[in-house]
Amino acid sequence: MNPPQPCCISGEWESGGWINLVFIGLSLIFLSFSLIYMLSKIFSKPEWAVWIKDEFYQAIISVAIVVLLVVVISAVCSIFTNVAGADPFVIAHTYLNGLVWDKTINLATRAFQDSLICQLAAAYKTHVGSKSLGTTYQQSIGLRTVATNFDFLYTLFVGLSASLMVQDIGLSIIQAFAFRIMLPLGILFRVFPFLRRAGATFIALALGLYIVYPLCFVMNQMVVNAVMKDPVMSASFISSSAGLPVVEGFALAIISPFLPWALIDIVLLLQEVAKLLPQAIFLPTLNLVITLTFVKNASRVLSQNFGEG
């Protein structure tokens, strides 16, 4: 058994170099502040000194934000490792990959194959009687309508698969760039008054995308496991759902042997659609609402001039 991850908010937050970049940038800013303060004394510019004191205070606030981030992320790391046992990004990727490759792709393939079988069966013709006096009829011509339903389900599963795959790719992009680029830029931008709002937005986005967003997918998986249980469906329930009571189903089997099978398979595929639609559309939308709400409020707090007033 592999040991647990050293940090549940992914190793990139430590190994990505963002802390080093931030402190190098802040050191250069402090050096420039010192030079400007020295020049204000040489050229008797008291307004420069006042400005530098205020910006120096904001730089100290940025350092405090960095220290607070390290403490908070480490605490979240410890808590989540004990609760979930893994990195939220790993859990989210595993969850989404399972939905894409084990569910939607396989179900789309199944719907496509069922449609193909129905179309082949519908095209088959049976000749009764002699060549001159007999007649030819298509025993399963009604399967063409059923094939249309399978085509619709195929399109639906492909769309759900694309939605889930985009979310998985988006998580990979966030994991690669949110803390390595957005967070250092945000902390450095926040020092300067004309970039303070942009810096606060970058910091809030980095925190929201890198911490809140993947945790939402962990919440999704827990909700799905707790709420969406696979129902145990008896043969009679499936038959009644497909509109196939015993007598009618037996008659249909004689007229068109493939029709009862096709209708039952549609019921089973619709059951999968009912489970996948919330996971591919509703829950991701809820994730975005939660993340954007956090980003909006965090940006509003971080853009404040804490030393004024």
Q: pTM of the prediction?
A: 0.75
- Nearest-angstrom CA–CA distance, 117 and 154: 14
pLDDT of residue 187: 80
User: 227 exposed, middle or buried (CB, 10 Å; 0-12, 13-18, 19+)?
Assistant: exposed
pLDDT exceeds cutoff 90 at 39: no
Looking at 108-122, 144-158, 182-196, which range is the least confident one?
A: 182-196
From residue 253, how far is each of 140, 161, 240 by CA, in Å? 10, 34, 15
Question: Which is more confidently placed, 306 or 276?
Answer: 276
Site of tokens 């940006």 = 299
Share of the chain above pLDDT 70, in %: 74
pLDDT of 281 strictly over 70: yes
Are the C-beta atoms of residues 122 and 280 closer than 8 Å to each other? no
Residue 2: pLDDT band with limits 50, 70, 90: very low
Calculate the CA 71 to chain-centre distance.
26
Q: How far apart are the first and last CA of the chain?
A: 56
* pLDDT above 90 for 78: no
- Inform me whether the pLDDT recorded for 200 exceeds 90: no
Partners of 97 in the β-ladder? none
Structural domain boundaries of the chain? Answer: 86-302
In degrees, to the nearest 5, what angle opens at C-alpha 214 toward C-alphas 90 and 200? 135
pLDDT of residue 289: 96
What are 121-159's pLDDT values in tens digits? 877 766 566 666 655 656 666 788 888 999 999 999 999
